[in-house]
Structure 1
Amino acid sequence: MSETVVTLEGVELGFAGVKALQGVDFEVQAGELFAVIGPNGAGKTSIFNVLSGVYRPQKGRVTFNGQDIVGMRPHKIAGLGMARTFQNIELFENLDVVDNLMLGRHGHLGYGWPSAIARLGRASKAEIRNRRRVEEIIDFLEIEAYRMLPVGMLPYGIQKRIELGRALAMDPELLLLDEPVAGMNGEETEDMARFILDVRSELGIAMILVEHDMGLVMDLADRVMAMDFGKPLTTGLPAEVQDHPEVIRAYLGVGDEEISA
């Protein structure tokens, strides 16, 4: 039986009377790629913000590896093994690829600033260990040719790959992917899809994917939850969700008569 990594039960979130999430329930198993789809304003990003501790829901329960994380600070949740990529690239443009990925190793330093300043043995060994892990990720994502270049001068698709790499540098048990192919051309999208599949098959990391590219979602996801106006519409296999009348209505704005015609 698969191990449950994360669970949301009856989660509700509102702002000044506006309900962003209403009765959201789902769970993600170890190694699963779970996708959340829906029109703009459906509540997809709100789910990520609840999971990562940016927002605290008014109702409901959120557990990560069996631990209740509601009210926990974002850096504490990250320390438990949850990493996130962002739709808008959040890299340090003036730093090279290696340094950007090394930032993802912050939680694995294992020493304080006195050791770092003095370059004591513990700090030196940790630096070597973390640098080795970063080099493994560079190889995994096939970005060796860019490793010493400032990320600000790199192509958009490569920057998105580096964003993924920084999240992987945290060695997460759960990876939140926020529109990883947004703004990419066809070739870049195919490359990113391949790396996402490699993350699942080779690294065994559970993932929650938010994405508007329905072709990508249907090709990659094990299960899909469709949402509209903060409410889950249905959850199931990609083909089942794609053909669900409420999902078609939410995306296309058509009535029951047109769906059944």
Structure 2
Amino acid sequence: MTGDAVLEVQDIALSFSGVKAVDGVSFTVGAGELFAIIGPNGAGKTSIFNVLSGVYRPQQGSVRFKGQEILGMRPHRIAALGVARTFQNIELFAHLTVVDNLMLGRHNHMRYGALSAFAWLGRARREELANRQAVEDVIDFLELEQWRRLPVGLLPYGVQKRVELGRALAMEPKVLLLDEPVAGMNVEETEDMARFVLDVRDELGIAMVMVEHDMGLVMELADRVMVVDFGKPIRTGTPAEVQRDPDVVRAYLGEQHKTVGGAA
């Protein structure tokens, strides 16, 4: 783990009609760390994300963000504290421009009321200009300049995924939850997204929790990896440690594989 823990998850258990989706999951994420969660389909990865973001409330456990218990908070309250999320299926407004979609990520930073906004004076004007500058910084960071005034629905899929990341970054999060950030991308788009994810960690210092099926990407980018199977954590460690673990090989890759991506 890198630096002090910004996210602490302890003994989470979540069941639906008696079926355990998450069973005894614990982990910490340090400041500036990229922590990945992997596992077979149905292993509980998305359920863990939904617990972290407040969509699900588990029957037991604790989730602390910067020392504050957030379990039981509504999703918008968790987001306001500094936990942002991207989605596997793009959740953008197709008819709005890139700029307008990113401005939606600034809603937690807008303090003026409707009257001030209508008058376009004083605090409203200052905050609007500051928020637009923050969005322009994200556009520069993610190299979105050429698409900034285009409706998102007209953009290539990989660029839309980048806009989704940008909207989360516009919130100025302390923890970023990345739900399959390269799902559906071609090789070039995947390489671009990998570069930006590393820039988020190394240049912005934002801690990240990533769920991803592209094992090559995970093993190349992640500082630490937690493997889950049937809702249970079976190993947490560096990518190299996880790849060598026989329980991980059996659960995730099958007996015929020796390492991730290795020969039979």
TM-score by length of 1: 0.97
Look up the match of 1:172. Answer: 173
Distance 2:99 2:253 in 1: 44
Look up the match of 2:4. Answer: 3
Look up the match of 1:104. Answer: 105
2:137 paired with 1:143: no
Instruction: Name the % identity.
Output: 71
TM-superposition CA deviations, 1:114-144 (whole Å, max 9, x none): 2112222111110000000100100100010
Distance 2:162 2:243 in 1: 28
Which has the higher mean CA deviation after the structures are superposed, 241-250 or 25-34? Answer: 241-250
Distance 1:252 1:30 in 2: 31
Paired residues in the alignment total: 259
Look up the match of 1:31. Answer: 32
Task: Please show how residues 1-261 of structure 1 align to structure 2 within 5 Å.
Answer: 2-254=3-255
TM-superposition CA deviations, 1:182-227 (whole Å, max 9, x none): 0000000000000000000110000001000000000000000001
Distance 1:114 1:32 in 2: 42
> Which letter does structure 1 place at the counterpart of 2:82?
G
Which blocks of at least 5 consecutive residues in structure 2 are unaligned? none
Distance 2:54 2:195 in 1: 29
Distance 1:18 1:170 in 2: 35
Cα 1:259/1:196, change in 2 over 3 Å: closer
Distance 2:19 2:112 in 1: 44
Shift of 1:3: 1.3
Which has the higher mean CA deviation after the structures are superposed, 141-150 or 113-122? Answer: 113-122
Distance 2:153 2:55 in 1: 27
Distance 2:68 2:252 in 1: 35
Q: Which runs of 4+ in 1 moved over 2 A?
A: 252-255, 258-261
- Report the aligned-residue RMSD: 1.5
